[in-house]
Amino acid sequence: MNLDLQALLILLVIGAIAGWLAGTLVKGYGFGLIGNIVVGVIGAYIGAWLLPQIGFGISGLLGSIISATIGAIVLLLLIGLVRKVA
């Protein structure tokens, strides 16, 4: 996978938006700007894998943000479960 500068910046912006939205929707999970970007980028990969598995296909910029946000919410819920167990 070869990312040029523009694609990398778009990925980071979508990650930041998705991480912030997920942190807002799942109360108690604020990781700051860098943490939100990381959660959002990982969430984008989770959402891109998860949504087609359950029969949803979303395209476009807004679709990417929605998919990444759903993936980030799943990630934050999993982090919450691990914290409760540990």
Q: What mean pLDDT value characterizes the chain?
A: 85
pLDDT value at position 71?
92
Contact in structure between 23 and 37 (CB atoms under 8 Å): no
Chain segment 42-77, per-residue pLDDT in tens: 998 898 888 888 888 778 888 888 999 999 999 988
Choose between 24 and 84: higher pLDDT: 24
Q: How far apart are CA 45 and CA 23, in angstroms?
A: 17
Q: What is the DSSP letter of 26?
A: S
Nearest to 39 by CA among 58, 20, 65, 60: 20
- So where are the chain's domains? 15-85
- pLDDT, residue 30, reads 65
